[in-house]
Amino acid sequence: MHTKSDSDVTSLEAASPKHPLYYVQSPSNHDAAEKMSYGSSPFGSPGHHYHSSPIHHSRESSTSRFSASMKTTRNHGYWKRLQRVGDSVEEDDQVDEEDMRHKKEIKRFYVVCFVLSFVVLFSVFSLILWAASTCYPPEIYVKRLVFERFNVQSGMDISGVATDMLSINSTIKIFYRNTGTFFGVAVKIAPIQLWYYQRHLANGPEVKFHQHRKTQRTIVTSVNAYQLPLYGALPGFSARNGGHDSISVPLNLTIGIRSRAYVLGKLVKPKFYRTIRCQVTLHGKKLGKPVNLTNSCVHHN
Protein backbone atom coordinates (compact mmCIF):
# COMPACT_ATOMS: atom_id res chain seq x y z
CA MET A 1 0.00 0.00 0.00
CA HIS A 2 2.70 2.40 0.90
CA THR A 3 4.74 1.52 -2.17
CA LYS A 4 1.95 2.16 -4.51
CA SER A 5 1.19 5.49 -3.12
CA ASP A 6 4.82 6.47 -3.55
CA SER A 7 4.80 5.48 -7.18
CA ASP A 8 1.62 7.32 -7.73
CA VAL A 9 3.09 10.41 -6.23
CA THR A 10 6.15 10.04 -8.36
CA SER A 11 4.11 9.66 -11.51
CA LEU A 12 2.08 12.63 -10.62
CA GLU A 13 5.17 14.68 -10.04
CA ALA A 14 6.60 13.54 -13.32
CA ALA A 15 3.38 14.31 -15.11
CA SER A 16 3.10 17.69 -13.54
CA PRO A 17 4.54 20.59 -15.57
CA LYS A 18 7.72 22.34 -14.61
CA HIS A 19 6.06 25.72 -14.32
CA PRO A 20 3.45 26.35 -11.63
CA LEU A 21 -0.15 26.28 -12.65
CA TYR A 22 -2.33 29.31 -12.41
CA TYR A 23 -5.96 29.20 -11.48
CA VAL A 24 -8.34 32.04 -12.17
CA GLN A 25 -11.42 32.15 -10.10
CA SER A 26 -13.75 34.78 -8.89
CA PRO A 27 -12.65 35.73 -5.44
CA SER A 28 -15.36 35.75 -2.90
CA ASN A 29 -13.67 38.24 -0.72
CA HIS A 30 -10.69 40.55 -0.65
CA ASP A 31 -8.38 38.03 1.01
CA ALA A 32 -9.11 35.35 -1.58
CA ALA A 33 -8.45 37.87 -4.34
CA GLU A 34 -5.11 38.74 -2.81
CA LYS A 35 -4.20 35.05 -2.52
CA MET A 36 -5.12 34.31 -6.12
CA SER A 37 -3.27 37.35 -7.35
CA TYR A 38 -0.06 36.07 -5.84
CA GLY A 39 -0.47 32.76 -7.81
CA SER A 40 -0.29 30.16 -5.02
CA SER A 41 0.29 26.63 -6.26
CA PRO A 42 -2.32 23.91 -5.82
CA PHE A 43 0.04 22.09 -3.58
CA GLY A 44 0.42 25.00 -1.26
CA SER A 45 4.12 24.48 -1.00
CA PRO A 46 5.79 27.47 0.63
CA GLY A 47 9.01 26.80 -1.27
CA HIS A 48 7.54 27.80 -4.63
CA HIS A 49 7.91 31.53 -5.55
CA TYR A 50 6.33 33.65 -8.24
CA HIS A 51 8.38 34.01 -11.39
CA SER A 52 7.27 36.18 -14.24
CA SER A 53 7.16 34.63 -17.63
CA PRO A 54 9.31 35.80 -20.62
CA ILE A 55 6.14 37.02 -22.26
CA HIS A 56 5.50 39.25 -19.28
CA HIS A 57 9.07 40.58 -19.42
CA SER A 58 8.79 41.30 -23.10
CA ARG A 59 5.54 43.09 -22.57
CA GLU A 60 7.00 45.23 -19.81
CA SER A 61 10.09 46.04 -21.83
CA SER A 62 8.05 46.93 -24.90
CA THR A 63 5.72 49.01 -22.77
CA SER A 64 8.65 50.78 -21.13
CA ARG A 65 10.28 51.38 -24.51
CA PHE A 66 7.00 52.69 -25.90
CA SER A 67 6.47 54.92 -22.91
CA ALA A 68 10.09 56.14 -23.14
CA SER A 69 9.68 56.86 -26.84
CA MET A 70 6.42 58.63 -26.11
CA LYS A 71 8.15 60.66 -23.44
CA THR A 72 11.02 61.47 -25.82
CA THR A 73 8.56 62.42 -28.55
CA ARG A 74 6.56 64.48 -26.07
CA ASN A 75 9.70 66.20 -24.77
CA HIS A 76 10.92 66.82 -28.31
CA GLY A 77 7.58 68.36 -29.24
CA TYR A 78 7.64 70.46 -26.07
CA TRP A 79 11.10 71.77 -26.81
CA LYS A 80 10.11 72.46 -30.39
CA ARG A 81 7.10 74.43 -29.21
CA LEU A 82 9.28 76.24 -26.67
CA GLN A 83 11.83 77.02 -29.39
CA ARG A 84 9.07 78.32 -31.65
CA VAL A 85 7.81 80.50 -28.81
CA GLY A 86 11.37 81.76 -28.17
CA ASP A 87 11.85 82.46 -31.87
CA SER A 88 8.58 84.34 -32.01
CA VAL A 89 9.58 86.35 -28.92
CA GLU A 90 12.95 87.15 -30.49
CA GLU A 91 11.25 88.16 -33.72
CA ASP A 92 8.86 90.38 -31.76
CA ASP A 93 11.81 91.91 -29.92
CA GLN A 94 13.61 92.52 -33.21
CA VAL A 95 10.49 94.10 -34.69
CA ASP A 96 10.12 96.29 -31.58
CA GLU A 97 13.77 97.32 -31.78
CA GLU A 98 13.41 98.15 -35.46
CA ASP A 99 10.26 100.17 -34.72
CA MET A 100 12.01 102.04 -31.93
CA ARG A 101 15.04 102.68 -34.16
CA HIS A 102 12.77 103.88 -36.95
CA LYS A 103 10.89 106.17 -34.56
CA LYS A 104 14.16 107.57 -33.22
CA GLU A 105 15.40 108.23 -36.75
CA ILE A 106 12.14 110.00 -37.62
CA LYS A 107 12.33 112.04 -34.43
CA ARG A 108 15.97 112.95 -35.11
CA PHE A 109 15.05 113.94 -38.66
CA TYR A 110 12.26 116.23 -37.43
CA VAL A 111 14.55 117.78 -34.82
CA VAL A 112 17.24 118.47 -37.43
CA CYS A 113 14.66 119.92 -39.81
CA PHE A 114 13.27 122.13 -37.04
CA VAL A 115 16.72 123.38 -36.05
CA LEU A 116 17.71 124.08 -39.64
CA SER A 117 14.40 125.81 -40.34
CA PHE A 118 14.77 127.91 -37.20
CA VAL A 119 18.34 128.87 -38.11
CA VAL A 120 17.35 129.77 -41.67
CA LEU A 121 14.32 131.78 -40.60
CA PHE A 122 16.25 133.54 -37.85
CA SER A 123 19.08 134.33 -40.26
CA VAL A 124 16.65 135.73 -42.82
CA PHE A 125 14.93 137.78 -40.12
CA SER A 126 18.28 139.09 -38.84
CA LEU A 127 19.35 139.93 -42.37
CA ILE A 128 16.12 141.85 -42.94
CA LEU A 129 16.65 143.79 -39.70
CA TRP A 130 20.26 144.52 -40.62
CA ALA A 131 19.25 145.74 -44.10
CA ALA A 132 16.49 147.87 -42.62
CA SER A 133 18.84 149.41 -40.04
CA THR A 134 21.40 150.40 -42.67
CA CYS A 135 18.78 152.70 -44.14
CA TYR A 136 18.99 154.90 -41.04
CA PRO A 137 22.54 156.30 -40.85
CA PRO A 138 23.16 159.02 -38.26
CA GLU A 139 23.22 162.70 -39.16
CA ILE A 140 26.44 164.42 -38.08
CA TYR A 141 27.51 168.04 -38.53
CA VAL A 142 30.51 169.95 -37.27
CA LYS A 143 28.94 173.27 -36.53
CA ARG A 144 31.77 175.51 -35.42
CA LEU A 145 35.31 175.82 -34.05
CA VAL A 146 36.57 178.48 -31.70
CA PHE A 147 40.28 179.24 -31.17
CA GLU A 148 40.33 180.55 -27.65
CA ARG A 149 44.05 180.83 -27.08
CA PHE A 150 47.12 180.68 -29.24
CA ASN A 151 50.68 181.15 -28.02
CA VAL A 152 54.20 180.58 -29.42
CA GLN A 153 57.20 181.12 -27.18
CA SER A 154 60.83 180.13 -26.98
CA GLY A 155 61.69 177.13 -24.89
CA MET A 156 63.45 173.76 -24.75
CA ASP A 157 62.22 170.23 -25.27
CA ILE A 158 62.77 167.41 -22.77
CA SER A 159 66.27 166.76 -24.14
CA GLY A 160 67.32 170.41 -23.68
CA VAL A 161 67.20 171.49 -27.34
CA ALA A 162 66.15 175.12 -27.78
CA THR A 163 63.10 175.58 -30.04
CA ASP A 164 59.79 177.36 -30.32
CA MET A 165 56.97 175.87 -28.18
CA LEU A 166 53.33 176.02 -29.33
CA SER A 167 50.21 176.03 -27.14
CA ILE A 168 46.65 176.02 -28.51
CA ASN A 169 43.26 175.90 -26.84
CA SER A 170 40.18 175.49 -29.02
CA THR A 171 36.61 174.22 -28.74
CA ILE A 172 34.44 172.49 -31.34
CA LYS A 173 30.72 171.85 -31.42
CA ILE A 174 29.31 168.73 -33.13
CA PHE A 175 25.68 167.97 -33.85
CA TYR A 176 24.62 164.30 -33.73
CA ARG A 177 21.18 162.83 -34.53
CA ASN A 178 20.10 159.20 -34.48
CA THR A 179 17.62 158.66 -37.31
CA GLY A 180 16.84 155.04 -36.39
CA THR A 181 13.16 154.46 -35.61
CA PHE A 182 13.58 151.15 -33.71
CA PHE A 183 17.13 151.05 -32.31
CA GLY A 184 19.53 153.10 -30.24
CA VAL A 185 23.22 153.57 -30.99
CA ALA A 186 26.44 153.62 -29.01
CA VAL A 187 28.62 156.48 -30.24
CA LYS A 188 32.36 156.98 -29.96
CA ILE A 189 34.04 160.17 -31.17
CA ALA A 190 37.79 159.69 -31.60
CA PRO A 191 40.25 160.74 -32.69
CA ILE A 192 39.89 164.51 -32.89
CA GLN A 193 43.07 166.02 -34.32
CA LEU A 194 44.34 169.34 -35.64
CA TRP A 195 46.99 169.27 -38.37
CA TYR A 196 49.23 171.74 -40.14
CA TYR A 197 49.75 169.91 -43.43
CA GLN A 198 51.60 166.73 -42.30
CA ARG A 199 52.47 168.12 -38.90
CA HIS A 200 50.26 167.01 -36.04
CA LEU A 201 49.49 169.89 -33.64
CA ALA A 202 46.63 169.17 -31.22
CA ASN A 203 44.38 166.35 -29.95
CA GLY A 204 40.90 166.16 -28.51
CA PRO A 205 39.68 163.70 -25.81
CA GLU A 206 37.67 160.58 -26.63
CA VAL A 207 33.92 161.10 -26.29
CA LYS A 208 31.44 158.22 -25.70
CA PHE A 209 27.68 158.28 -25.23
CA HIS A 210 24.48 156.38 -26.06
CA GLN A 211 21.89 157.94 -28.30
CA HIS A 212 18.29 156.72 -28.18
CA ARG A 213 16.17 156.24 -31.27
CA LYS A 214 15.05 159.39 -33.09
CA THR A 215 16.89 161.69 -30.66
CA GLN A 216 19.68 164.22 -31.08
CA ARG A 217 22.30 166.08 -29.10
CA THR A 218 25.12 168.65 -29.42
CA ILE A 219 28.59 167.65 -28.28
CA VAL A 220 31.07 170.30 -27.20
CA THR A 221 34.67 169.21 -26.72
CA SER A 222 38.14 170.70 -26.79
CA VAL A 223 41.20 170.34 -29.00
CA ASN A 224 44.38 171.38 -27.22
CA ALA A 225 48.14 171.41 -27.49
CA TYR A 226 50.53 172.36 -24.73
CA GLN A 227 54.22 173.18 -25.14
CA LEU A 228 54.56 171.41 -28.46
CA PRO A 229 58.13 171.77 -29.85
CA LEU A 230 58.14 173.02 -33.42
CA TYR A 231 61.85 172.64 -34.38
CA GLY A 232 61.39 175.29 -37.08
CA ALA A 233 59.03 173.08 -39.08
CA LEU A 234 56.26 175.70 -38.96
CA PRO A 235 57.71 178.99 -40.20
CA GLY A 236 54.37 180.73 -39.81
CA PHE A 237 54.49 179.99 -36.08
CA SER A 238 57.43 181.85 -34.64
CA ALA A 239 58.00 183.83 -31.49
CA ARG A 240 60.31 186.10 -33.40
CA ASN A 241 57.45 187.33 -35.54
CA GLY A 242 56.36 189.56 -32.70
CA GLY A 243 52.60 189.87 -32.28
CA HIS A 244 50.11 187.15 -33.18
CA ASP A 245 47.68 189.45 -34.92
CA SER A 246 49.37 188.99 -38.25
CA ILE A 247 49.28 185.16 -38.08
CA SER A 248 47.06 183.43 -40.63
CA VAL A 249 47.71 179.67 -40.82
CA PRO A 250 45.59 177.08 -42.69
CA LEU A 251 44.82 174.01 -40.58
CA ASN A 252 42.97 170.71 -41.01
CA LEU A 253 40.53 169.35 -38.46
CA THR A 254 39.95 165.58 -38.55
CA ILE A 255 37.18 163.85 -36.59
CA GLY A 256 36.47 160.10 -36.52
CA ILE A 257 33.01 158.96 -35.38
CA ARG A 258 31.86 155.35 -34.94
CA SER A 259 28.23 154.47 -34.27
CA ARG A 260 27.12 150.94 -33.39
CA ALA A 261 23.42 150.07 -33.36
CA TYR A 262 22.02 147.22 -31.23
CA VAL A 263 19.05 146.14 -33.33
CA LEU A 264 18.69 142.58 -31.98
CA GLY A 265 20.83 142.45 -28.89
CA LYS A 266 24.40 141.55 -29.75
CA LEU A 267 23.38 139.43 -32.74
CA VAL A 268 22.49 142.22 -35.15
CA LYS A 269 24.85 145.17 -34.66
CA PRO A 270 25.19 147.35 -37.74
CA LYS A 271 28.05 149.84 -37.61
CA PHE A 272 28.31 153.30 -39.08
CA TYR A 273 31.77 154.82 -39.58
CA ARG A 274 32.22 158.46 -40.40
CA THR A 275 35.39 160.46 -40.93
CA ILE A 276 35.00 164.23 -41.18
CA ARG A 277 37.70 166.53 -42.48
CA CYS A 278 37.30 170.29 -42.24
CA GLN A 279 39.40 173.13 -43.60
CA VAL A 280 39.88 175.93 -41.10
CA THR A 281 42.15 178.96 -40.94
CA LEU A 282 43.68 180.26 -37.73
CA HIS A 283 43.59 184.06 -37.67
CA GLY A 284 45.48 185.82 -34.92
CA LYS A 285 42.97 188.65 -34.99
CA LYS A 286 39.91 186.37 -34.53
CA LEU A 287 40.79 184.58 -31.32
CA GLY A 288 37.68 183.80 -29.29
CA LYS A 289 35.36 184.14 -32.31
CA PRO A 290 33.51 181.03 -33.66
CA VAL A 291 34.38 179.83 -37.14
CA ASN A 292 31.43 178.34 -39.00
CA LEU A 293 32.35 174.93 -40.46
CA THR A 294 28.98 173.77 -41.73
CA ASN A 295 29.97 174.12 -45.36
CA SER A 296 33.68 173.53 -44.89
CA CYS A 297 33.71 169.81 -44.03
CA VAL A 298 33.86 166.66 -46.13
CA HIS A 299 32.34 163.40 -44.88
CA HIS A 300 33.86 159.99 -45.67
CA ASN A 301 32.10 156.72 -44.76
Residue 114 sits in the same domain as residue 225? no
What percent of the chain is predicted at pLDDT more than 70? 65
Give the E-state strand segments of the chain in sequence order. Answer: 139-156, 162-177, 185-196, 199-204, 207-211, 216-229, 248-261, 271-283, 290-292, 297-300
Residue 239 near residue 153, CB atoms below 8 Å:
yes
Q: Are residues 101 and 83 in the same domain?
A: yes
**pLDDT tens, position by position, for the chain (301 residues)?**
444 444 444 444 444 444 444 444 444 444 444 444 444 444 444 444 444 444 444 555 555 655 555 556 566 666 666 666 666 666 666 667 788 888 888 989 999 999 999 999 988 988 898 888 889 999 999 999 999 988 888 888 888 888 888 889 999 999 999 999 889 999 999 999 999 888 899 999 999 999 999 999 999 999 999 988 888 777 666 655 555 677 788 899 999 999 999 888 878 889 999 999 999 998 888 888 999 998 889 999 8
Same structural domain, 295 and 211: yes
Do 147 and 292 have their domain in common? yes
148 and 294 co-located in one domain: yes
Provide the CATH number for the domain around residue 251. 2.60.40
List, for residues 218-261, the tens digit of each pLDDT value: 999 999 999 888 887 776 666 555 556 777 888 999 999 999 99
d(CA 241, CA 147): 19
Residue 3 lies inside a defined structural domain of this protein: no
CB 187 within 8 A of CB 259: yes
Q: Is 12 among the domain residues? A: no
Q: Quick check: is 9 in a domain?
A: no
State which of 29, 50, 71 marks the end of a domain: 50
Same domain, 268 and 159: yes
How many domains is the chain partitioned into structurally?
3
Q: Spell out the SS3 assignment of 248-264.
A: EEEEEEEEEEEEEECCE
Residues 273, 196 share a domain: yes
Strand partners, 126: none
Residues 271 and 180 in one domain: yes
Do 82 and 191 lie in one domain? The reply is: no
The pLDDT assigned to 294 comes to 86
Position 69 in a domain: yes
Examine the domain organization and report whether 283 and 158 are in the same domain: yes
Q: Which of the listed residues 107, 133, 159 is the one where a domain comes to its end?
A: 133
End position of a domain, from candidates 35, 50, 65 = 50
Domain span including residue 35: 19-50
Q: Is residue 166, in this structure, part of any structural domain at all?
A: yes
The answer to whether residue 122 sits within a structural domain is yes
Q: Are 32 and 145 in a shared domain? A: no
Whether residue 29 sits in one domain with residue 162: no
> How far, in Å, CA of 56 to CA of 275, rounded?
127
The verdict on residue 158 lying in a domain is yes
**pLDDT for residue 55:** 47
User: Would residue 190 count as lying in a domain?
Assistant: yes
CA dist 22 and 55 (Å) reads 15
